[in-house]
Amino acid sequence: MTGAALDAHLIVDRGRFAVDVALTVGAGRTAALMGPSGAGKSTILAAISGLVSLSGGHVRLDGATVAAERVHVEPARRGVVLLGQDPRLFPHLSVVENVAFGPRAAGVPVAAARASAGEWLRRVGLGDAGARHPAELSGGQQQRVALARALAIEPRVLLLDEPFTSLDVETAADVRRLVAQQLAATRATAVVVSHDADDAVALAGRLLVIEQGLLVQEGTVAEVLAAPATRFVAAVAASHRFGLAATATGDGESDRARDGEGLDSRE
């Protein structure tokens, strides 16, 4: 599975201000969006997915227009999946049926959909949890199931809207590593929204900073964090450096240093 190339110019009138951002993500690449609360980041994801209509601009996937002035392909037909803070699992379905739901809705035979779901659960470390129900899982396990469900339908673009915010620090780090592994393994195209530089460092090749609906800085994750253009980015970069220093003094070295990873592992 390789994701679609995303080419978007997103103009969305939010009343107080308009979001006006150009965004391109190569097939199989990941971009991160950061910015203060209310900057328009989630609106950007909603516009890409089709949950919000454009006031202007376009969204193209592999060159095919799915949104423009007189074009609006329904969300279900775009092949774009949005994964947020809430896993939104179906409580009445078993874990394996939750993951199999998308393929079954797409017409995959029941047995094949369940087999695929079982394989995805194995890939996210929950191969023995298929018969359980969401209420029996921890928050981190539920988010793993949500990731498996999202990837099981082989999305053209995966949108991640602060998916680790509701998790404790240790669980968030574990799930973040898992997401990074699966994005690399599947070559999915992804856009991740976060307030945490750790997410951008772990997942993305490029970082876009959004403030008041506008793109104010863009570059590789390393470039943006090394030379902040706004007070918000400076604070995020300082927090990230402090976290790395604390980890190094407490454990000897950071997880990413032990793994031999750099700031631009997916560039």
CB 1 within 8 A of CB 27: no
CA-to-CA distance for 37 and 67, rounded, in angstroms?
26
In this predicted structure, the answer to whether residue 251 has a pLDDT above a threshold of 70 is no
The percentage of the chain sitting over the pLDDT mark of 90, rounded to a whole number, equals 79
Q: How far apart are CA 142 and CA 146, in angstroms?
A: 6
pLDDT band at 9 (very low <50, low <70, confident <90, very high): very high
Q: Which CATH architecture has domain 1-79+157-171+188-240?
A: 3-Layer(aba) Sandwich (3.40)
Tokens linked to 2: 């390789």
Return mean pLDDT, the chain.
89
Let me know: does 228 contact 237? Beta carbons within 8 Å. Answer: yes
Tell me the sheet residues that pair with 32. 192, 207
Instruction: Evaluate whether 188 touches 1 at the Cβ level (below 8 Å).
Output: yes
Confidence check: pLDDT of 196 > 80: yes
Mean pLDDT of 215-228: 95
Q: Is the pLDDT of residue 133 over 90?
A: yes
The answer, yes or no, to whether residue 261 has pLDDT greater than 80, is no
pLDDT band at 260 (very low <50, low <70, confident <90, very high): very low
